Structure 1
Amino acid sequence: MHSAPSPLPERINLSGEGLVLRDWAEDDLAAMPELFDHPDIAYWTPIVSPFDENAARARLDRARQLRKDGTTILLAITADGSASPLGEVMLRRAPEGTELGYAVGPAHRGRGLAARAVRVMAAYAFGQLGEERVVLELEAENAASVAVATKAGFGLLDVPLIEGEEKGRPYALQTWGLNRP
């Protein structure tokens, strides 16, 4: 029998790999559409599209509620903690395991931000939450995400595909895992 997961902290600020992962703030609302209103993000992620100021407000409010519920952490990826966000990294606790996810703004891609942010969040999951494994769920056709998974040290798991439909488009997600070091 599993014990209930520990509550998530009200505030989180994680540093490592040349990044600071921090809570989203009111000051970030104006920058969020530039990060998330992009065809790639609309296609590959469940993030709402088009992503405008109202979507930014809804995402910030939802991030705060999910944290209170103890299920999900959404953090801004930044270079130093005070600068504008470059993207987002997620940790979601679910019965099937702890899933990580990410989205990097189009202007900030090609710098290894996603892989570095995922490694920092995985270290948090192992060290602070006591997780034994974290997973990424991604489509095999999403070459950029497959590259992130590989670069971050994840391996493809021999488990059934996760099939569904999002935004009217069918998908089949592979599960990639990283075990506690």
Structure 2
Amino acid sequence: MSSTASSFPERIELSGEGLVLRDWTEADLAAMPELFDHPDIAYWTPIVTPFDETAARTRLDRARQLRADGTAILLAITLDGGAPLGEVMLRRAPEGTELGYAVGPAHRGQALAARAVRVMAGYAFEELGADQVILELEAENAASVTVAAKAGFQLLDVPLITGQEKGRPYSLQTWGLSRP
């Protein structure tokens, strides 16, 4: 898919795998700190820490701007369209259509991330015409490696992506899932 792909729809709701992935709303602002203000999320993701009400507002505004720019989609992971349990992201990047996720600590152990990633991958294949979706994660992040494997991704034989985030170095593996 080229970087000149058309913009994303203004509203998105995806269902599958016992989940409803929906747009973040103003009503979710109070729940976001409980989901994202956690040491694991602070360590493994670029999500800001501490994550408070101001950070929630900034994230909601940024999600809307990224959608409008045609760069990324950030959706709340829910069971029924109600309370958010985490987030799944689709980003158009030079290296491909990248997915990402974060699940609130109180909601882990239910395969929410793997299910949400499969639903979002289906959207990327069916609606965006992607040939492959990728996950970029650290090998030491055992939970994310498990998610990648459960979602059907394979470790790709490509160079590691290295950098620094929040004052610590990282080295990301690229996992891929090809169009069925």
Query: Is the TM value for this pair above 0.5?
Result: yes
CA RMSD of aligned residues (A): 1.0
**For residues 7 and 174 of structure 1, what CA distance do their matches in structure 2 show?**
28
Unpaired runs of at least 5, structure 2: none
Residue in structure 2 matched with residue 13 of structure 1 by the alignment: 13
Post-superposition shift, 1:96?
Answer: 1.2
Residue in structure 1 matched with residue 39 of structure 2 by the alignment: 39
Instruction: Give the match's secondary structure for 1:153.
Output: coil
| Structural mapping, 1:67-82, within 5 Å | 67-81=67-81
Unpaired runs of at least 5, structure 1: none
Instruction: Give the match's secondary structure for 2:169.
Output: strand
Measured against aligned partners, the alpha-carbon deviations of 1:83-137 in whole angstroms (never above 9, x if no partner) come to 2100000000012101000000000000000000000000000000000000000
Instruction: Give the match's secondary structure for 2:110.
Output: coil
Residue in structure 2 matched with residue 26 of structure 1 by the alignment: 26
Measured against aligned partners, the alpha-carbon deviations of 1:46-100 in whole angstroms (never above 9, x if no partner) come to 000000000000000000000000010000000001x210000000001210100
The answer on 1:172 being equivalent to 2:148 is: no
Instruction: Give the match's secondary structure for 2:14.
Output: strand
The answer on whether the counterparts of 2:3 and 2:93 sit within 8 Å (CA) in structure 1 is no
Post-superposition shift, 1:2?
Answer: 4.4
Residue 113 of structure 2 aligns to which amino acid in structure 1?
Answer: A
The answer on whether the counterparts of 2:88 and 2:100 sit within 8 Å (CA) in structure 1 is yes
Residue 119 of structure 1 aligns to which amino acid in structure 2?
Answer: R
**For residues 74 and 51 of structure 2, what CA distance do their matches in structure 1 show?**
17
| Structural mapping, 1:92-171, within 5 Å | 92-171=91-170
| Aligned CA distance change for structure 1 residues 3 and 114 (closer, same or farther; 3 Å) | closer
The answer on whether the counterparts of 2:153 and 2:175 sit within 8 Å (CA) in structure 1 is yes
The answer on whether the counterparts of 2:48 and 2:55 sit within 8 Å (CA) in structure 1 is yes
**For residues 3 and 43 of structure 2, what CA distance do their matches in structure 1 show?**
37
**For residues 7 and 42 of structure 2, what CA distance do their matches in structure 1 show?**
31
The answer on 1:64 being equivalent to 2:58 is: no
Post-superposition shift, 1:3?
Answer: 7.1
**For residues 97 and 116 of structure 1, what CA distance do their matches in structure 2 show?**
21
Post-superposition shift, 1:7?
Answer: 1.1
Alignment TM-score, normalising by the size of structure 1? 0.98
Alignment TM-score, normalising by the size of structure 2? 0.98
**For residues 4 and 59 of structure 2, what CA distance do their matches in structure 1 show?**
26
Task: State, as a whole percentage, how many aligned pairs show the same letter.
Answer: 82
